[in-house]
Amino acid sequence: MNRAAPTWSGGDPGGPGDPYTAALRAGHGPLFLRREDGWLLPLEVERWCERADAVDRDVLDRCEGTVLDIGCGPGRLVAELAARGRPVLGIDISATAVAHTRGLGGQALRRSVFEPLPGEGRWDTVLLMDGNIGIGGDPDVLLARTARLLRPGGLLIAETDPADVDERSRVRVVPLSAARPTGTAFPWARLGTPALLSRARHWRTAAHWAFGGRRFVALRTGTTYDHQPGADGPSVPVA
């Protein structure tokens, strides 16, 4: 089961009683995405708040040049890349997640992927980890947006669901103790590897693999040219 990090397509997490903010501040759950039919998807808050693990590091070894981490959460991947001396920027709409990322020494902006971003069209690698291919609830729209962020021939690495699933739904973030749904519902999607590959019609498949019970797909934008990774990539200002 892919335990997706909840990055909303809209809204403003972090208000009084927001369960996601509370979980990040505590460093642990339990926390779930709850579909409208009551089905619960566990969220791995503890793993997100720890240092990058062996599976994460394997993904980061595959990154090229400048890296944009979409839905960076509390910043374990941004911090690991920064510690390696790599130019990297995380974005998340949670103020708590952005503050946590910066506290680890990474650069991060409180921004939605659908808002204007630094370096559009010049990033070498974009990450959609922890199920963030589900952001916005429409993977086709998110893939098109990601392609506009990358340079020609740039690399997208997306974590997919271990199950062969292609699902769109509306969900809420809830703690285990929630007796009834709370908070604002938002659109989300879950994609297995076959579903993502079938949607990536304007991309070239670079690789797909499994490691540690998690699954990943690497895609390249359709146009390539002779490019030295990072040579003319974007700066990563915090603003």
Confidence of residue 232 (pLDDT cuts 50, 70, 90): low
| pLDDT (mean) for 87-100 | 97
| pLDDT (mean) for 120-126 | 98
Q: Is the dihedral of CA 139, 225, 208, 7 positive or negative?
A: negative
pLDDT on residue 238 = 42
Q: What is the pTM of this model?
A: 0.89
| pLDDT (mean) for 125-130 | 98
Side chain identity, residue 8: W
Dump pLDDT digits (tens) for 172-183: 999 976 656 667
- Residue 9 pLDDT exceeds 60: no
- Residue 229 pLDDT exceeds 60: no
| pLDDT (mean) for 79-106 | 98
pLDDT on residue 225 = 38
Confidence of residue 222 (pLDDT cuts 50, 70, 90): confident
pLDDT on residue 17 = 72
Q: Residue-wise over 152-186: b if at least 16 C-beta within 10 A, else e?
A: ebbbbbbbbbeeeebeebebbbbeeebeeeebeeb
Q: Are 165 and 224 in contact (CB under 8 A)?
A: no
- Residue 179 pairs with which residues in a beta bridge? none
d(C-alpha 93, C-alpha 23), whole Å:
15
Tell me the three state secondary structure of residue 31. strand
| pLDDT (mean) for 50-58 | 98
- Residue 90 pLDDT exceeds 70: yes
Tokens coding 234: 């974007």
Q: Is the dihedral of CA 55, 74, 149, 140 positive or negative?
A: positive
- Residue 4 pLDDT exceeds 60: no
d(C-alpha 185, C-alpha 8), whole Å:
9
Tell me the three state secondary structure of residue 180. coil
Q: Is the dihedral of CA 233, 160, 10, 106 positive or negative?
A: negative
pLDDT on residue 183 = 74
Q: Residue-wise over 202-214: b if at least 16 C-beta within 10 A, else e?
A: ebeeeebeeeeeb
For 194, phi then psi, to 5°, come to -60, -40
Q: Identify which has the larger pLDDT, 196 or 12.
A: 196
Q: Identify which has the larger pLDDT, 236 or 5.
A: 236
Dump pLDDT digits (tens) for 137-157: 999 999 999 999 999 999 999
- Residue 236 pLDDT exceeds 80: no
